[in-house]
Amino acid sequence: MMPDRSGKDAVQAKGVLREIASLAGTIGREVKIMEVCGTHTVSLRRAGIHSLLPENVRLVSGPGCPVCVTPTGYIDNALALLEEKDVIVATFGDMLKVPGSKGTALARYLGTGKVRMVYSPMELITIASETDKQVVFLGIGFETTIPGIAVTFLKARRKRIPNLLLYSAFKTVPAPLTALLNDPDRYFDGFLLPGHVSVIIGSAAYDFLQQPESVPGVIAGFEPLDMLKGIRTLLWCIAEGHVLVKNEYPRAVRTEGNRKARAVMEELLTVSDEKWRSLGTIPGSGLSLKPEFSSFDAVSVFAMEEPEDRDNPGCLCGKVILGKVTPPECTLFRDVCTPDHPVGPCMVSSEGTCAAYLRYGEK
**Which amino acid, 233?**
T
Helix extents (H) in the chain: 6-27, 38-47, 49-52, 72-84, 123-129, 146-158, 174-181, 195-201, 224-240, 259-268, 298-302, 317-320, 353-360
| Domains contained in the chain, CATH given | 26-363 (3.40.50.11740)
Question: pLDDT tens digits for the chain (363 residues)?
Answer: 444 566 778 899 999 999 999 999 999 999 999 999 999 999 999 999 999 999 999 999 999 999 999 999 999 999 999 999 999 999 999 999 999 998 899 999 999 999 999 999 999 999 999 999 999 999 999 999 999 999 999 999 999 999 999 999 999 999 999 999 998 888 999 999 999 999 999 999 999 999 999 999 999 999 999 999 999 999 999 999 999 999 999 999 999 999 999 999 999 999 999 999 999 999 999 999 999 999 999 999 999 989 988 878 899 999 999 999 999 999 999 999 999 899 999 999 888 999 999 999 866
Strand partners, 90: 116, 137
**Three-class SS of residue 264?**
helix
**Which amino acid, 218?**
V
Q: 113: Cβ–Cβ under 8 A, 6 or more apart, which residues?
A: 88
Strand partners, 276: 280
CA distance linking residue 313 with residue 344, whole number of Å:
10
Length of the chain: 363
Using CB atoms within 10 A of its CB, is residue 81 exposed (0-12), middle (13-18) or buried (19+)? buried
Predicted pLDDT at 2 = 44
pLDDT digits 0-9 by tens, 189-234: 999 999 999 999 999 999 999 999 999 999 999 999 999 999 999 9
Residue 348 and residue 355 in contact, taking contact as beta carbons nearer than 8 Å = yes
CA distance from start to end of the chain = 34
pLDDT digits 0-9 by tens, 268-319: 999 999 999 999 999 999 999 999 999 999 999 999 989 988 878 899 999 9
Q: How much is the pTM? A: 0.93
Q: Calculate the alpha carbon distances from 338 to 145, 317, 341 in Å.
A: 27, 13, 5
Predicted pLDDT at 269 = 98
DSSP secondary-structure letter at 33? E
Residue 46 and residue 360 in contact, taking contact as beta carbons nearer than 8 Å = yes
